[in-house]
């Protein structure tokens, strides 16, 4: 499928709201085409000087149009794709485009495993003293809090490329497990440092049975 492309150094996951401020003339043209022709566009992730994977976006609303033609718009992320070809300008257009292949995604998962992930996120938030609101099981998937658990940009990109929900949840589980372990060690170190600053009673060692 051929898709208009709006490359960004940003990652959006399927189902996520996509707020954009449009100021370049070529992307003003793109948004106007989306409004008049009801087309979608893709946001490929610019990472390591490469464009390879991204997400299809459907325009939902033009929130504000400014006097100079700039716009605040809202879209929703849909399917993840891999870029097959890229051209700086689509035929007859000023914006980029290319052929893309949509990934076969699934959202099938084990309820108990999802609960395990939620519990670990809650544990992480507790350690960081960040408020955590309970998430209904039917509303939670691997992307629900993906931006809010400390994943790096590179890790979010890896998550985006994983096609099955159980693999994505496993990816999150590994990240959460290692992050919680690191924070636990930091907390232990912090307490040790605090203890070493206090006056304490030490029992002298008895050296009489030690051979030298």
Tens digit of pLDDT at every position of the chain (212 positions): 999 999 999 999 999 999 999 999 999 999 999 999 999 999 999 999 999 999 999 999 999 999 999 999 999 999 999 999 999 999 999 999 999 999 999 999 999 999 999 999 999 999 989 999 988 898 999 999 999 999 999 999 999 999 999 999 999 999 999 999 999 888 777 777 666 655 555 566 555 555 65
The rounded percent of the chain whose pLDDT value lies above 70 is: 90
- Same domain membership, residue 143 and residue 74: no
So what's the pLDDT on residue 202? 57
Q: What are the tokens at 41?
A: 């566009």
- Same domain membership, residue 92 and residue 6: yes
Q: How many domains does the chain have?
A: 2
Q: In this structure, what DSSP letter does residue 91 have?
A: T
In a domain, 72, yes or no: yes
In a domain, 202, yes or no: no
- What range defines the domain where residue 135 resides? 111-195
In a domain, 203, yes or no: no
- Same domain membership, residue 153 and residue 184: yes
In a domain, 205, yes or no: no
In a domain, 79, yes or no: yes
What mean pLDDT is reported for the chain?
92
In a domain, 200, yes or no: no
How far from the centroid of its chain's Cα atoms is residue 143's Cα?
A: 7
- Same domain membership, residue 130 and residue 46: no
So what's the pLDDT on residue 122? 95
Q: Which of 159, 172, 190, 191 is nearest to 53 (CA)?
A: 159
So what's the pLDDT on residue 188? 79
SS3 56: strand
- Same domain membership, residue 178 and residue 119: yes
- Same domain membership, residue 94 and residue 34: yes
- Same domain membership, residue 121 and residue 185: yes
CB 34 within 8 A of CB 40: yes
Structure pTM?
Answer: 0.86
So what's the pLDDT on residue 212? 52
So what's the pLDDT on residue 199? 55
In a domain, 143, yes or no: yes
In a domain, 204, yes or no: no
- Same domain membership, residue 80 and residue 8: yes
Task: Return the H-helix or E-strand segment holding 107.
Answer: none
So what's the pLDDT on residue 145? 95
- Same domain membership, residue 77 and residue 8: yes
- Same domain membership, residue 52 and residue 75: yes
């Amino acid at each position: 499928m051929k898709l208009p492309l709006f490359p960004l150094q940003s990652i959006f996951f399927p189902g996520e709201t996509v707020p954009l401020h449009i100021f370049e003339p070529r992307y003003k043209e793109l948004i106007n085409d989306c409004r008049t022709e009801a087309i979608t566009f893709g946001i490929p992730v610019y990472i390591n000087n490469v464009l390879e994977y991204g997400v299809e976006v459907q325009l939902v609303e033009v929130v504000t149009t400014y006097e100079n033609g700039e716009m605040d718009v809202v879209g929703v992320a849909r399917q993840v794709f891999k870029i097959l070809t890229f051209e700086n300008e689509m035929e007859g257009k000023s914006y980029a485009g290319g052929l893309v292949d949509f990934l076969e995604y699934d959202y099938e998962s084990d309820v108990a495993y999802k609960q395990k992930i939620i519990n670990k996120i809650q544990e992480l938030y507790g350690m960081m003293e960040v408020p955590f609101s309970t998430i209904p099981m039917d509303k939670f998937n691997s992307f629900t809090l993906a931006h809010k658990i400390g994943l790096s940009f590179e890790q979010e990109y890896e998550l985006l490329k994983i096609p099955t929900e159980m693999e994505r949840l496993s990816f999150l589980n590994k990240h959460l497990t290692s992050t919680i372990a690191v924070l636990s060690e930091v907390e232990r170190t912090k307490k040790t440092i605090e203890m070493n600053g206090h006056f304490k009673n030490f029992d002298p060692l008895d050296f009489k049975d030690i051979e030298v």
